[in-house]
Amino acid sequence: MNLSTLAVHIDTEATSPTHLSAPPIYESVGFRFDSVEQLERRARGQSDDWYYGRYGHGNMRLLEDAMKRLDGAEAALACATGMSAIYCAVWAAVNKGDHVVAARDVYGGTFVLFRDELTRLSVEVTFVDPTAAAVEAALTPQTRLIFVETVSNPTARVVDLERVSRLAQQAGARLFVDNTIPTPCLCRPLAFGVTGVIHSGTKYLSGHSDAMSGVFLSNDRDLVQRARQIAIKTGMQVAPFEAWLTLRGIRTLSLRVERQSQNAEALARWLDEQPQVSRVWHPRLASHPEHAVAQRLLPHGCGSLFAFEVKGGVTAAARVIESLKIARFVPHLGDVATLVTHPALSSHINVPDEERQRMGVTDGLIRVSVGIEDIGDLIADFAQALKMV
Ligand SMILES: Cc1ncc(COP(=O)(O)O)c(C=O)c1O
């Protein structure tokens, strides 16, 4: 054979795959078939052989299998981002004329997806406070889906999944929960009778701000299969390297989340005693609206995310944020490093003032996604920054 042929047809099989202790990265878009009959069976959906990258690949399968075990789910779909997981899950669950009840304080990207795109399909969406009473009051005979976040961002509101799940069952609606912030380490929503769980793998699952992914999980295999068909049609599947990075992050997830939860609670309690701070939104503090719900739902920790308000509005908040030396000013969450941001002038910039105040997203509010640093170093950093106010 000539070199031009040899170079193209290099070996694609590893010599001893059974001895690997870490998963390989399967960067293969096409897959070889041994016969036309085998290809026909795959094309007719009669086998699940690897077919073409958009239909699934080795790293996607490994991530899905890992998440099924972590969340205790029968089926999983791994997507390119958290938003694509939400899109595939929700579009698999609703039809024209349906009514959706969603928590008002869901992630901004979810809010605008529902407000702008779901409603264009003649799906009516009612946004409510993240409480069981508000969800109940919004239910109609057409309600087919309730969508909430276990712990919301930035004020760490906690939804009573047991009560909302019962309401969904009584109403004949599905309940989807974005569980990005607690992760399966702190909460496994399927155990409460929830229909579907979504994670942005971009956050705590991968954990190092270097990968984007998302996962949809359910015990309803048909529902996940429908979501998978949407992912295939729209090309929303996770890429091999991103799936590999997410899976690598998952191997240290429980250690990171445990440390981050402890750090967050300690930092929140310390901030609550500082004279420059007017309010701290952490579910372990008695002042938090869902303090009791969180004790029941999140007994092992509330996760790394919380928010606090400094006296003196935007000017004071900006001084604190810009004076921090260890905590980084990044509008993102879930990293091993502590990240802070200013929600009023970023994620909530288009929310009308009155509504924003009602949500607690005041001008002095700072959101913190606490990392795994030494807690003494973190407290010292926030102490020197608060002195600048
Ligand atoms: C709670 C939550 N869900 C979903 C998303 C969307 O995830 P992604 O950016 O991976 O699409 C985010 C992003 O910040 C989020 O915070």
Report CA(82)–ligand 1 centroid distance (Å): 5
Q: What is the mean pLDDT of residues 78-84?
A: 98
Give the pLDDT score at 6. Answer: 80
Residue nearest to atom 9 of ligand 1 (CA): 82
Does residue 350 surpass a pLDDT of 90?
A: no
Q: What is the mean pLDDT of residues 159-164?
A: 97
Express each pLDDT in 325-336 by its tens digit. Answer: 999 999 999 999
Give the pLDDT score at 17. Answer: 60
Residue whose C-alpha is closest to residue 119's, from 102, 138, 135: 102
Instruction: Catalytic residue, from 41, 49, 54, 104: name it.
Output: 54
Contact 88, 236 (CB under 8 A): yes
Ligand 1 contact, 51 CB (< 6 A): no
Residue nearest to atom 15 of ligand 1 (CA): 107
Ligand 1 contact, 81 CB (< 6 A): yes
Q: What is the mean pLDDT of residues 190-210?
A: 98
Ligand 1 contact, 78 CB (< 6 A): no
Ligand 1 contact, 206 CB (< 6 A): no
Domains of the chain from N-terminus onward: 24-250 (3.40.640.10), 253-386 (3.90.1150.10)
Does residue 14 surpass a pLDDT of 70?
A: no
> Ligand 1 pocket test: which of 86, 198, 202, 246 has the largest number of ligand atoms within 8 Å of its C-beta?
202
Band the pLDDT of 209: cuts 50, 70, 90: very high
Instruction: Catalytic residue, from 144, 203, 284, 356: name it.
Output: 203
Separation CA 126–CA 104 (nearest Å): 8
Report CA(55)–ligand 1 centroid distance (Å): 23
Catalytic residue flag (residue 203): yes
Ligand 1 contact, 205 CB (< 6 A): no
Band the pLDDT of 120: cuts 50, 70, 90: very high
Residue whose C-alpha is closest to residue 144's, from 104, 176, 115, 172: 172
End-to-end CA distance of the chain: 74
Contact 305, 367 (CB under 8 A): yes
Percent pLDDT > 90 in the chain is 90
Express each pLDDT in 16-66 by its tens digit. Answer: 667 788 899 999 999 999 999 999 999 998 998 999 999 999 999 999 999
Amino acid at 192: F
For residue 93, CA distances in Å to 134, 225, 245 come to 22, 11, 29
Give the pLDDT score at 3. Answer: 87
Separation CA 46–CA 27 (nearest Å): 25
Q: What is the mean pLDDT of residues 295-320?
A: 98
Separation CA 298–CA 51 (nearest Å): 41
Query: 265 CB contacts (<8 Å, ≥6 apart)?
Result: 282, 284, 301, 302
Number of continuous H segments (helices) and E segments (strands) in the chain: 15, 12
* 359 vs 77, higher pLDDT: 77
Nearest 5°: phi and psi at 5?
A: -75, -45
ω before 154 within 30° of 0 (cis)? yes
Separation CA 47–CA 44 (nearest Å): 8
202-211, 311-320, 344-353: least confidently modelled range: 344-353
Q: What is the mean pLDDT of residues 110-114?
A: 93
Report CA(33)–ligand 1 centroid distance (Å): 37
Express each pLDDT in 123-147 by its tens digit. Answer: 999 999 999 999 999 999 999 999 9
Separation CA 344–CA 365 (nearest Å): 7
Express each pLDDT in 212-234 by its tens digit. Answer: 999 999 999 999 999 999 999 99
Does residue 89 surpass a pLDDT of 80?
A: yes
Nearest atom, ligand 1, residue 86 CA = 4
Express each pLDDT in 268-286 by its tens digit. Answer: 999 999 999 999 999 999 9
